[in-house]
Amino acid sequence: MLRYTVKRLLQLSVALLGLSLLLFAWFKALPGGPENQLLPENATDQQREALRAALGLDEPIWVQYADFLGRAVRLDFGSSLSSGRPVATELADRLPATIELSLAAMLIAVGLGIPLGYLAAKRRGTWLDFTAVSGSLLGTCIPIFFLAAMLKVVFAQELGWLPTTFRLSAGADYTDVTGLRVLDGLITGEFDIAWDAVKHLILPAIALSSIPLAVIVRITRASVLDVVGEDYVRTADAKGLKPSVIRGRHVMRNAMLPIATIIGLLLGSLFAGAVLTESVFSFGGIGSFVYQATTERDYPALMGFILVIAVFYVVINLLVDLSYGLLDPRVRVRS
């Protein structure tokens, strides 16, 4: 298992290095050069030359890339053009909100998607199967921002059951430990804060989980249908094993390989969906920050965001690969 893990780490490190090359090339290929994007249109030639020298753009290309890579390793992405604060500080302040929202959305998607997909496969051809498949198709068709807006209007504004915006109620006094409001409330014993944070999470998490839930239901259903027809499942049934043993040890364990893959990919993609969801609910996470950086051409902020998300993707893919080795030891042998 150790050799398998080290091999995956080396492969993912190469992927990160390749991404850094692409980002560096993109930054160098900006129309008119990076200095023209960072300075106002009426900037003088002296100001442009001074900025080029400050950014090291007058150095050889390999020196520039080495400096870019070194600063990226130190999480030094420069300062945001919008706020003037270091990009790393902006990301550190906003990232916990997006992580909390993404984990809540994935918890909903996995907690409902896998059981529904399994039941749809076991009741193939029944009304339950038809409802699950139809619901998954509907979930992939509804845009996230439209669903988020509808949930906000119906359950927050019209019915008043849940809060409309932000992560906590106005004036809430809380102790910040990790930046994750629910976890902080549980750690510090401020259970009223934790419950308030949960209520603020429900609507955006449901909206963000709609597409992952639909995909997980369909993948689980297809994977279970493939596995239940295998010889080893029929043999286990013929030997008189308990249905719970067949379901857990023979069906779901083997069906989890493609499900684990799609969960890892969906967890990474939730950061993209968070941009729209956080904007609707004014959630204050990294999504709204990236939206602002995109509209204002804040390139240092965008580069920092892309690199941070790339690291998340790498970590998620590593965890998925490790789960393969745990679910199916043959993967470790072949690798």
> Mean of the pLDDT values across residues 20-35?
72
Q: What is the pLDDT of residue 273?
A: 66
Which residues lie closer than 8 Å to 31 by C-beta, 6 or more apart? 37
* pLDDT interval class at 55 (50, 70, 90): low
Residue 235 has pLDDT above 70, yes or no: yes
Residue 327 is predicted with a pLDDT of 67
Span 239-267, average pLDDT = 80
Which pLDDT tens digit goes with each residue over 75-106? Answer: 888 778 777 788 888 888 888 888 899 899 99
Which has more confidence, 117 or 302? 117
> Which residues of the chain does CATH 1.10.3720.10 include?
87-332
- What is the fold of 87-332? MetI-like fold (1.10.3720)
pLDDT in tens, 110-158: 999 999 998 898 888 888 888 888 888 888 888 888 888 899 889 988 8
Residue 25: how many CB atoms within 10 A of its CB? 10
Summarize pLDDT for 155-194 with one digit per residue, the tens.
Answer: 988 888 888 888 888 777 888 888 888 888 889 888 888 8
Residue reference for tokens 């072949």: 334
Of 229-233, 300-304, 325-329, the least confident: 325-329
Residue 1 has pLDDT above 70, yes or no: no
Residue 332: pLDDT over 60: no
| Exposure letters 241-255 (e unless 16+ CB within 10 A, then b) | eeeeebbeebbbebb
Give residue 112's pLDDT. 92
Kindly indicate the confidence band of residue 216, based on its pLDDT and cuts at 50, 70 and 90: very high
Residues 6+ apart with CB under 8 A from 86: 76, 77, 78, 79, 80
Q: What is the mean pLDDT of the chain?
A: 81
Helices 191-228 and 87-122 sit at what angle, rounded to 10 degrees?
Answer: 50
User: 86 forms bridges with which residues in the sheet?
Assistant: 79
Residues 6+ apart with CB under 8 A from 271: 98, 102, 286, 287, 309, 312
pLDDT tens per residue, range 303-330: 888 888 888 878 887 787 777 767 666 6
Start-to-end CA distance of the chain, whole Å, equals 10
Cβ distance 255 to 224 under 8 Å?
yes
pLDDT at 334: 54
Distance CA 242, CA 245 (A): 5
